Structure 1
Amino acid sequence: MTDAITLTGWQHTYSGKVRDLYVPDGSEQGRTLAERFGDVVLVVASDRVSAYDHVLEPAIPGKGTVLTQLSLWWFEQLADLVPNHVVSTDVPAEVAGRAMVCRRLQMFPVECVARGYLAGSGLAEYRTSGSVTGIELPPGLVDGSRLPEPIFTPATKADLGDHDENVPFSTVVETVGADAAATLRDLTLAVYARAEAIARERGVVLADTKLEFGTDPTTGAVTLGDEVLTPDSSRFWPADEWRPGTAQPSFDKQFVRDWLTSASSGWDRAGDVPPPPLPADVVERTRDRYLEAYERLTGSALAV
């Protein structure tokens, strides 16, 4: 994994597959940051791309900027529904455009997933049981089918390198309590409904999305954190190409996944050898897809 960069006044504390986290350090600059912002974390979205639990090389130029700027745009669209963790976008020049100063939340240990269409792990579960996280669905649904109504299909948060596991709502109740579980479900479905309508107006299908919430330690309010409604956390499909019964074209890293699983990559997903470097055309097409998602949704071009 790429080493995190050094930022004056900030101490690196964690790197995930895509994001690097920093907190104010003990220097004079760091103390000034803490006095200015309070208990915060600097969330930096890198250009790293992951697939099948591997961080791949090379990175996708501009991807971190797309993730951050799209999240900020969505936070604005959702501000009347739920507070979010963004405190400031006044960040070090080295990470300008791809970083946010965020309030530190007490995160719920639950991945909050809303599905309006059948795809991915939900489709796999439906094919086995006719249900998704214990929610019975009508027979005869296929890949890409629109559901009768959006459903809340939570998952447990996995450690780095492991898969999240879909769980029934009762597991969320056992984990966080009945009141908090109901709040997470209701907020997730409200966010999905708002975002699905906005995306549809722009010719984009929002098939599903994964959200993370935490409690603001100062106000006690349930607050939307992490990224929101990006191609890394959501399935976006072009509405004019939506065809139930087949895999849908998507605004994400599908080019990466398709190449890795093709014969031309020479990679054995079941083996122990890491994936080979991505070809230049796969990198470029993936970059274009992320930029197209941003531009379709926001109506604005993004310079990266």
Structure 2
Amino acid sequence: MNAPLDVPAQLPGWRHVYSGKVRDLYEPDGSPAGAALRDLHGDVVLVVASDRVSAYDHVLSPGIPGKGVVLTQLSLWWFEHLTDLVPNHVVSTDVPDAVAGRAMVCRRLDMFPVECVARGYLTGSGLAEYQEGGEVTGIPLPAGLVDGSRLPEPIFTPAAKAELGEHDENVRFSVVVDTVGPAAAETLRDLTLAVYARAEGVARERGVILADTKLEFGTDPVTGAITLGDEVLTPDSSRFWPADAWEPGRPQPSFDKQYVRDWLTSPASGWDQTSDATPPALPADVVARTRDRYLDAYRRLTGRALDV
């Protein structure tokens, strides 16, 4: 197993402009190579997925080897399956060798300040809301649902984007209307549910349940079209469960970093989540098992194995 990779500070023709919990963004620099990139692609950014892993608003150490490649390659696979539903921001995968496999050249979008979430199953923050008042973001749900219950139909449960290091806040649809206007809000809702429906069916055919997913959209300044951006339908942005192990009434086994979260909140980690203390380093076995889950998700969904 290779060591986890971060992303380089310098890339030929590109200037680093932003670091998130997992991704780094670059824009063409002032060099001849950067000018050539602008001439070729227009207003673009290079989106690079690192191997960093975050939980409970902390970036943890070490990262998960190969995670950035899984996130990028799975996003590209899903973008291809969704092109008839919604345009996406990918322009090219011709990227510098140092970030090959984990980077995409993407159209710069005017992003909507909304996390577009579709839920087909009840868990996570949606379950917590339901247990408090029988609804999720103002949408009433039937009584008697438990952790992992399938909903009568998928629901759109948006969230307001938070600053780096803060939690996104679930909000009612009316807040989205007030933020982006009624026409855009309805389009974001309809697109989110359409993407979820398509992806849920594809995943189910492969023995995987797509419990929920978070999408991000922006407006393409060239075409004016609402466009799918960021990553899409990865284990970082979605909850994937093995269909043959689904059992409502308990937490479900998953193909994501839940294994990391579970270890952090276990007595074995010794971390007090309520304090300001930095989380401890992840043990080698936690890193390896989390990596296996990401690779298994990619293999089950695409039918291909990744050599990373």
- TM-score by length of structure 1 reads 0.99
Query: Which residue does the alignment assign to 1:114?
Result: 118
Task: Look up the match of 1:174.
Answer: 178
Task: Determine if contact 2:209/2:243 at 8 Å carries over to the other structure.
Answer: yes
- Per-residue CA deviations over 1:211-254 (Å, capped at 9, x if unaligned) read 00000001100000000000000000000000000000000011
> CA–CA distance in 2 between the matches of 1:66 and 1:272?
31
Q: Is the 8 A contact 2:7 2:24 kept in 1?
A: no
Q: Give the equivalent residue in structure 2 for 1:98.
A: 102
In 2, are the aligned partners of 1:4 and 1:15 still within 8 Å (CA)? Answer: no
Cα deviation, residue 192, structure 1:
0.2
Aligned position for 2:10: 6
Aligned position for 2:147: 143
> Equivalents in 2 of 1:128, 1:13: separation in Å?
41
Verify: 1:157 aligned to 2:149, yes or no.
no
Counterpart position of 1:131: 135
For 1:30, the aligned partner's letter is G
Is residue 2:286 matched to residue 1:282?
A: yes
Alpha-carbon distance in structure 2 between the residues aligned to 1:239 and 1:222: 33
% of aligned pairs identical? 79
Give the 5 Å matches for 1:155-304: 155-304=159-308
SS in 2 for 1:232: coil
Q: Check the 8 A contact 1:24/1:30 in 2, yes or no.
A: yes
State how far apart, in whole Å, the 2-side matches of 1:220 and 1:249 are: 41
Q: 2: distance between equivalents of 1:248 and 1:4? A: 36
Q: How does 1:5-154 map to 2 (within 5 A)?
A: 5-154=9-158
| Amino acid across the alignment from 1:218 | V
Aligned partner letter, 1:15: S
Distance across 2 between alignment mates of 1:150 and 1:105: 27
Please say if residues 21 and 44 of structure 1, whose CA atoms lie closer than 8 Å, have aligned partners that are also in contact: yes
Deviations 1:5-52 (A, max 9, x none): 310110000000000000000011111111111100000000000000
8 Å contact kept, 2:114–2:158: yes
- Flag structure 2 segments of 5+ consecutive residues without an equivalent: 1-5
By how many angstroms is 1:273 displaced? 1.1
Which one-letter code corresponds to 1:51 in the other structure? A
The secondary structure found in structure 1 opposite 2:116 is strand
CA RMSD of aligned residues (A): 0.7
How many angstroms apart in 1 are the aligned matches of 2:24 and 2:53?
13
Runs of 4+ in 1 over 2 A off after TM superposition: 2-5
Question: Is the contact made by 1:112 and 1:212 (CA closer than 8 Å) also made in structure 2?
Answer: yes
Aligned length: 303
TM-score normalised per structure 2: 0.98
Unaligned runs of 5+ in 1: none
For residue 74 of structure 1, report the CA deviation from its aligned partner: 0.1
Query: Cα distance, 1:3 vs. partner?
Result: 6.9
Contact 2:116 2:159 in 1 (8 A): yes
**Do the aligned partners of 1:4 and 1:20 also contact (CA within 8 Å) in 2?**
no
How big is the shift at 1:4?
Answer: 4.4
Q: Secondary structure at the match of 1:235?
A: strand
